[in-house]
Amino acid sequence: MKLFTRIMAVAAILAMPLAPVLAANITITVGDNYYRGPGNTTQNFDVRTINVGDVVTWNFVGNASHPTASDNGAWVTFTTNRSITFNTVGTFAYHCEAHGAPGAGQYGVLTVRAVTATTLDANAAGIALSVYPNPSHGQVTVKLDQKPGVDYKLRLSNIIGQEVRTIALKPELTAAGLPLDLSDLRAGLYMYSLLVDGKVVSTKRIVLQN
């Protein structure tokens, strides 16, 4: 009975629509006189571009007070952890009222862009990608029928859109099947996308089990 329940649960996950899981959740750490998001380890300010629908969470650490104000009144000033979903294209600048000013000191800028339709039809392009077995316990094989002179990559993301791994797919490695070890990742649902010259050609789901 347990096996049947697990099979049905996996089937339900694979049948879920793609759109809701593609939005990213970006965490910006609010520390002593700095804002720092992913990839920012040294600057006192944080400037980044996000997509419509992304969620930004400000996570306060340390003892100092950092009232975070919007430069244009997009939100009410907050002093504790706060999450905001950005559904409008535009530029959202902010600063710490105690340790910064617009564009100076402890500040940040979020540029929200529209999600463009860059996904192409893999079948029409004559590209066939398979990652198996699915579900998997972490050991999978990647097989791709490629065309010469094209840059192929496999991008793996978690369910909130955070990229966890990107693998270059070389023709000499994937023609017969490229073994890939994902056993270091937590069990759950992941999305894998095929990128052709930097553009997403297809996105599918894979379930990793313990």
Match 């996308």 to its residue by tokens.
193
What is the distance between the alpha carbons of residues 167 and 152, in angstroms, rounded to a whole number? Answer: 9
Domain-wise residue ranges, the chain: 19-113, 118-208
pTM listed for this prediction: 0.50
Q: What integer pLDDT is reported at residue 21 of this predicted model?
A: 40
Run of H or E including 9:
helix 2-14
Average of pLDDT values for 189-205? 85
CA angle 152, 156, 161 (to 5 degrees): 125
Match 């939100």 to its residue by tokens.
75
Q: Is it the case that residue 177 has pLDDT exceeding 50? A: yes
Q: What integer pLDDT is reported at residue 4 of this predicted model?
A: 47
Cis check for the bond before 135: say yes or no (omega within 30 of 0). Answer: yes
Q: Is it the case that residue 8 has pLDDT exceeding 70? A: no
Helix (H, G, I), strand (E, B) or coil at 138: coil
Half-sphere exposure of 201 (CA within 13 A, CB side): 20
- Phi and psi (nearest 5°) for 185? -90, 155
Residues 73 and 84 sit within 8 Å (Cβ to Cβ)? no
CATH number of 19-113: 2.60.40.420
Q: What integer pLDDT is reported at residue 25 of this predicted model?
A: 87
What is the distance between the alpha carbons of residues 1 and 154, in angstroms, rounded to a whole number? Answer: 36
Helix (H, G, I), strand (E, B) or coil at 19: helix
Mean pLDDT of all residues belonging to the chain: 82
Residues 206 and 192 sit within 8 Å (Cβ to Cβ)? yes
What is the distance between the alpha carbons of residues 190 and 7, in angstroms, rounded to a whole number? Answer: 17
pLDDT tier for residue 29 given thresholds of 50, 70 and 90: very high
Helix (H, G, I), strand (E, B) or coil at 164: strand
CATH of 118-208 given 2.60.40.10, 3.40.190.10, 3.40.50.920, 3.40.640.10: 2.60.40.10
Q: What integer pLDDT is reported at residue 200 of this predicted model?
A: 81
| Residue-wise pLDDT tens digits, 44-88 | 999 999 888 889 999 999 888 999 999 999 999 999 999 999 989
Run of H or E including 173:
helix 171-174
Structure-token pair, residue 19? 């759109």
